[in-house]
């Protein structure tokens, strides 16, 4: 995943909030308390009536364990690195294709599965369902990884898949070869056991996600669009199971990403008559541009906490917080403005509150005694789900407010639509049910991704896109993403195989149970 290092940092700030709310508004306390209590009452009792479709079980014995770990390790050892926007290790990508065919012979030979290459190195699988009236879904993952060098301080060479204390170390163990391999491993085992899905599904494996997916994911999406496919939902990488990361929260939380921030790169330029530095004009292109940049920094985009899906995270998790956080989280109708103000104090949490503005390039001048004609700067903005690209561009214009500064949108996209997470939401409920079956102690809640994934190329094919894999994150693990010592425990990898094995079968239900019979765990 792109930008994933910053992704989970939000959760650190929860510590800050406790301090920030030491002062309580006594008058409002009574009203708020009633809400806190009623949340407890709601915590689920009724058992939902789900049609049973996970009839095939997977018992992982010694032989299977050895086999699935060996396949995974081989995948880690192939350095499928995306070096830059234009350079990938294509030798490794071809080698990876050979590994998939060797490791999953049943997938590649089954009459239920159609495989095709996309842009030479990406893969699209279609697993035919017996009931064509059931809307298919798509499981997405990516084969490429960001570069890694042992000299950065790894405890094991990054493409060694070395086993240390129950963990497999290596670039791609989390991002994103564990889903790539476990999805296909699960399908291999299902097919061997004679499974034939009712609901057809696609598996898409991109080869250039780390460089924006313009060849892999974009073309997979184009092919599906040409075929007129509509998807029930898409499940891609993104968030994970956070264990001990959110302070004040009792037990681990599985966060399902419902949206991603948008992005804009804007170029600011000022062009003036060049001249000799001995007779300078009152203002130079550099001065005018610097003032414009300063105005952008001094006037951040509006605070939007409470207007996007970030609020849902807290509302879903409220009952699992200890007091006094529980009180605050279950009363966001009251506290969100205040919470927004606390969150904006730290860069990590500010990212969840508003569209961020970062001036990343500033170029001007060539010679010490020449007044330059041209000065230019680039600004990278990450757009909050409650704002549009156009609104952000308009705000940049009105903040800069200087005709001499030319403002051009270089590239950008809107925040991704917010996927549904209610009782009628097929994908969300299936993912949630599967998580709870395998990890009964985990709380499932919606979340939001600051970084971007391949799934953003699929928004015309599915209104519901979820970003999640059941990878366990403990404090400090977020830094391993795109960092050093990326690793996954062997046990967790096995859990991933079981997760997809179960998820695929759970998707075979005809329809969701009626809303009132759900396990209520808001
Ligand atoms: C699963 O088994 C139940 C009964 O044990 C049966 O009613 C149901 O049709 C089976 N589902 C599938 C998808 O095979
Ligand atoms: C590319 O991958 C191959 C293995 O498939 C490896 O031998 C080679 O060293 C890699 N090249 C670079 C530049 O990393
Ligand atoms: C795929 O490979 C062919 C032949 O090697 C090449 O001409 C083409 O440009 C490649 N396409 C992509 C998208 O990389
Ligand atoms: Zn990734």
pLDDT digits (tens, 9 = 90+) for 236-257: 999 999 998 877 788 999 999 9
Task: Give ∠ CA 91-93-97 in degrees, rounded to 5.
Answer: 115
DSSP of 137-175: EEEEEE--B----GGGT-SS-TTS--EETTEEESTTTTT
CA–centroid distance, 66 to ligand 3, in Å, is: 36
Per-residue pLDDT at 21 exceeds 50: no
For 432, phi and psi rounded to 5 degrees? -60, -45
- Here the tokens at position 30 are 């009574």
Residue 508 has pLDDT above 60, yes or no: yes
Residue with tokens 């004679």: 194
CA dihedral angle for residue 60, residue 62, residue 64, residue 65, rounded to 10 degrees: 80
Q: How close is the Cα of 518 to the center of ligand 4, in Å?
A: 33
Q: Is the pLDDT of residue 365 over 90?
A: yes
pLDDT for residue 335: 85
Catalytic (active site) residue 54: no
Predicted local confidence at residue 448, as pLDDT: 86
Return the pLDDT at 98: 98
The pTM (predicted TM-score) of the whole model is 0.85
The catalytic residue among 3, 54, 97, 144 is 144
Structural domains in the chain, sorted by start:
62-253+418-506 (3.40.630.10), 260-413 (3.30.70.360)
Q: Is 482 helix (H, G, I), strand (E, B) or coil?
A: coil
49 labeled binding residue: no
pLDDT at 345: 85
- The ligand 1 atom at the shortest distance from the C-alpha of residue 505 is 13
The CA 121 to ligand 3 mean position distance, Å, reads 9
Q: Where are the alpha helices (DSSP H) in 415-456?
A: 426-438
What's the CA gap between 37 and 28, in Å, rounded?
A: 15
Nearest ligand, measured from the Cα of 214: 3
Ligand nearest to the CA of 471: 4
Give the pLDDT band (50/70/90) at residue 1: low
Q: How far is CA 231 from the centre of its chain?
A: 19
Q: Which of 310, 461, 315 is nearest to 386 (CA)?
A: 310
Flag the least confident range among 61-75, 329-343, 437-451. 329-343
User: Which residue owns the Cα nearest ligand 1 atom 10?
Assistant: 53
pLDDT of residue 519: 52
**Which residue from 120, 121, 223 has its CB within 8 A of the most atoms of ligand 3, so it is best to mutate?**
120
Cα dihedral 169→172→174→175 (10° resolution): 160
The angle at the Cα of 420, spanning 419 to 424, to the nearest 5 degrees, equals: 150
C-alpha distances out from residue 458 to 27, 135, 225, 344, Å = 48, 16, 9, 31
Radius of gyration of the chain (CA): 25
Q: How would residue 162 be classed by pLDDT, with cut points 50, 70 and 90?
A: very high
Identify whether 87 is a catalytic site residue: no
- Mean pLDDT over residues 310-320, rounded? 79
pLDDT greater than 70 at residue 57: yes
pLDDT at position 250 is 86
Report the chain's terminal Cα–Cα distance, integer Å.
Answer: 29
User: How confident is residue 333, by pLDDT bands cut at 50, 70 and 90?
Assistant: confident
pLDDT band at 30 (very low <50, low <70, confident <90, very high): very low
């Amino acid at each position: 995943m792109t930008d994933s290092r910053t992704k989970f940092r939000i959760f650190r700030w929860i510590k800050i909030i406790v301090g920030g709310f030491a002062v309580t508004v006594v008058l409002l306390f009574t009203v708020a308390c009633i809400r806190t209590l009623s949340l407890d009452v709601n915590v689920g009792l009724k058992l939902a009536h789900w049609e049973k479709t996970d009839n095939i079980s997977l018992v992982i014995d010694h032989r299977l364990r050895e086999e699935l770990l060996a396949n995974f390790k081989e995948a880690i050892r192939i350095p499928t690195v995306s070096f830059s926007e234009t350079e990938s290790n294509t030798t490794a990508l071809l080698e990876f294709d050979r590994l998939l065919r060797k490791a999953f012979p049943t997938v590649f030979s089954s009459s239920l599965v159609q495989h095709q290459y996309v842009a030479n190195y990406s893969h699209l699988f279609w697993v035919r369902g017996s009931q064509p009236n059931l809307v298919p879904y798509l499981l997405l993952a990516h084969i490429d990884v960001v570069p890694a060098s042992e000299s950065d301080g790894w405890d094991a060479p990054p493409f060694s898949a070395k086993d240390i204390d129950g963990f497999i170390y290596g670039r791609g163990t989390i991002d994103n070869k564990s889903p790539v391999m476990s999805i296909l491993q699960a399908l291999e085992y299902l097919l061997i056991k004679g499974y034939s899905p009712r609901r057809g599904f696609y598996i898409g494996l991109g080869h250039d996600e780390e460089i924006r997916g313009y060849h892999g994911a974009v073309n997979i999406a184009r092919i599906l669009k040409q075929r007129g496919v509509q998807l029930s939902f898409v499940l891609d990488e993104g968030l994970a199971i956070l264990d001990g990361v959110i302070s004040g929260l009792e037990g681990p939380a599985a966060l399902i990403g419902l949206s991603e921030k948008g992005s804009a790169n804007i170029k600011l330029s000022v062009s003036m008559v060049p001249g000799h530095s001995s007779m300078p004009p009152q203002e130079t292109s550099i001065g005018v541009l610097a003032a414009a940049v300063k105005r952008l920094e001094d006037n951040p985009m509006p605070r939007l906490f409470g207007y996007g899906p970030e609020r849902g995270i807290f509302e879903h998790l409220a009952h699992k917080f200890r007091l006094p956080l529980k009180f605050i989280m279950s009363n966001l109708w009251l506290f969100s403005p205040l919470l927004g103000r606390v969150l904006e104090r730290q860069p990590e949490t500010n990212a969840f509150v508003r569209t961020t503005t970062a001036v990343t390039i500033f170029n001007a001048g060539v010679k010490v005694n020449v007044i330059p004609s041209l000065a230019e700067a680039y600004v990278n903005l990450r757009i909050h789900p409650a704002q549009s690209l156009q609104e952000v561009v308009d705000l940049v214009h009105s903040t800069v407010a200087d005709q001499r500064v030319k403002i051009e949108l270089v590239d950008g996209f809107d925040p991704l639509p917010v996927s549904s997470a209610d009782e009628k939401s097929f994908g969300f409920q299936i993912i949630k049910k599967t998580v709870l079956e395998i990890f009964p102690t985990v709380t499932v809640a919606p979340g939001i991704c600051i970084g971007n994934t391949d799934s953003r190329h699929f928004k015309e094919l599915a209104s519901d896109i979820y970003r999640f894999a059941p990878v366990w994150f403990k404090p400090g693990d977020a830094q391993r993403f795109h960092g050093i010592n990326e690793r996954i425990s062997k046990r967790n990898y096995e859990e991933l195989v079981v997760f997809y094995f179960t998820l695929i079968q759970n998707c075979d239900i005809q329809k969701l149970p009626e809303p009132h019979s759900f396990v209520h765990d808001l």
